[in-house]
Amino acid sequence: MKIVHTIDDLRAQLRGQLRTAFVPTMGNLHEGHMSLMRLAAKHGDPVVASVFVNRLQFGPNEDFDRYPRTLEADTKKLEAEGVYVLFAPDEREMYPVPQEFRVAPPGDLGDILEGHFRPGFFVGVSTVVLKLFHCVSPQVAVFGKKDYQQLMVIRRMAQQFSLPTEIIPAETIRAEDGLALSSRNVYLSEDERREAPNLYRLLQETQSIIREVNPAKPEAIKALETEQQMKLSERGWKPDYFSIRLRSTLQNASADDLTKGEALVVLAAARLGGTRLIDNLEI
Ligand code: AMP
């Protein structure tokens, strides 16, 4: 595996490649990330991974400084997986001058859910992904459904800018007890780690009861969301949202959508102690 730290070296390594498959990450790699590498290998060659903790997507009171940085271990994992190039730029390489040009997603997609609770998050994500795409020139790029809204933002960005990169979604990889793998899981105490899978259990419970909701009662979906959110609070979580949305647009699902059998997704974000976890399930 070639490890490159500059955009010039990256471009030199990839010159002439027409089927590059790209997986951007922030490092501290786990099995979820590795499944993306494997999926990328099915869709292109060579596979290029990036590890870059992108300051632009962190709010002032978020965990940028303490985000786990484990480049040596990440390198070994990517090497073992047969990744061809690891792009690991430092901040001066990605942002040699302040990044004044930014990509602003439309509010109906970028300012809801995660975007509401993390203002500027999707501007930071879109900006770095567009920049990374220009460095790598991938034909395909893989993004996890774990970050469902992020996947949709990137997809719509790729469409609206006519990017020559196909966006491929990857399923969420979970621990045996159901907890979605995440770099942030390392923040959890032993007790919190035991509690954490209950977020997924509530999503599953929602999946099993959503079709019993009476579409004749317009308030029924809202009531179910509130009920599930209260269960999290009672267990000591501090929920940001627990929300049933249309898969196609991430707008709220109406009773009419239920009747029509529209494809739905339930998305949740909640803090457990000092750790903010997100998860979702297509229902
Ligand atoms: P991150 O390093 O957290 O920015 O994530 C990099 C990529 O890995 C994103 O496309 C995430 O959606 C994806 N990802 C993170 N966790 C998982 C998981 N448990 N299963 C599948 N993909 C994941």
pLDDT in tens, 173-207: 999 999 999 999 999 999 999 999 999 999 999 99
Convert the pLDDT of each residue in 261-278 to its tens digit. Answer: 899 999 999 999 999 999
Backbone angles phi, psi at 266, to 5 degrees: -110, 130
The active-site residue, picked from 5, 33, 116, 134, is 33
Q: Name the residue with the closest Cα to ligand 1, atom 22.
A: 144
Ligand 1: centre distance to CA 144 (Å)? 5
> Residue 170: CB within 6 Å of ligand 1?
yes
Q: Residue 33 catalytic?
A: yes
Angle, CA 82 vertex, CA 78 and CA 88 arms, to 5°:
40
Which of 22, 23, 25, 176, when mutated, tests ligand 1's pocket best, judged by the most ligand atoms within 8 Å of its CB?
25
Question: Cα-atom radius of gyration of the chain, to the nearest Å?
Answer: 19
The response to whether residue 165 sits with its C-beta less than 6 Å from ligand 1 reads no
Task: State pLDDT tens for residues 98-126.
Answer: 999 999 999 999 999 999 999 999 999 99
Q: Is the dihedral of CA 76, 81, 83, 89 positive or negative?
A: negative
Q: What's the mean pLDDT when you consider all of the chain?
A: 96
Cβ–ligand 1 contact at 199 (below 6 Å)? no
CB-ligand 1 contact for 144 (6 Å cutoff): yes
Q: Which pLDDT score, from 0 to 100, does residue 214 have?
A: 76
DSSP the chain: -EEE-SHHHHHHHHTT-SS-EEEEE-SS--HHHHHHHHHHHHH-SSEEEEE---GGGS-TTSSTTTS---HHHHHHHHHHHT-SEEE---HHHH-SS---S-----HHHHSSTHHHHSTTHHHHHHHHHHHHHHHH--SEEEEEGGGHHHHHHHHHHHHHTT-S-EEEEEPPPB-TTSPBP-GGGGG--HHHHHHTTHHHHHHHHHHHHGGGS-TT-TTHHHHHHHHHHHHHHHTT-EEEEEEEEETTT-PBPPHHHHHTT--EEEEEEEEETTEEEEEEEE-
Question: How much is the pTM?
Answer: 0.97
Task: Express each pLDDT in 30-59 by its tens digit.
Answer: 999 999 999 999 999 999 999 999 999 999
Q: Is 36 in the pocket of ligand 1 (CB under 6 A)?
A: yes
Decide: 185 in ligand 1 pocket, CB within 6 A: no
Q: For 61, phi and psi rounded to 5 degrees? A: -105, 20
Residue 145, exposed/middle/buried by CB under 10 A (0-12, 13-18, 19+)?
A: middle
Quote the ligand 1 centre to 267 CA distance (angstroms). Answer: 16
- Give the pLDDT confidence score for residue 254 in this predicted structure: 83
Is the minimum distance from the CB of 172 to ligand 1 under 6 angstroms?
yes
Specify burial of residue 219 (Cβ count, 10 A radius: 0-12, 13-18, 19+): exposed
Measured in angstroms, how far is the CA atom of residue 27 from the centroid of ligand 1?
10
152 C-alpha to ligand 1 centroid (Å): 14
What gap in Å lies between CA 189 and CA 44, rounded to an integer?
Answer: 39
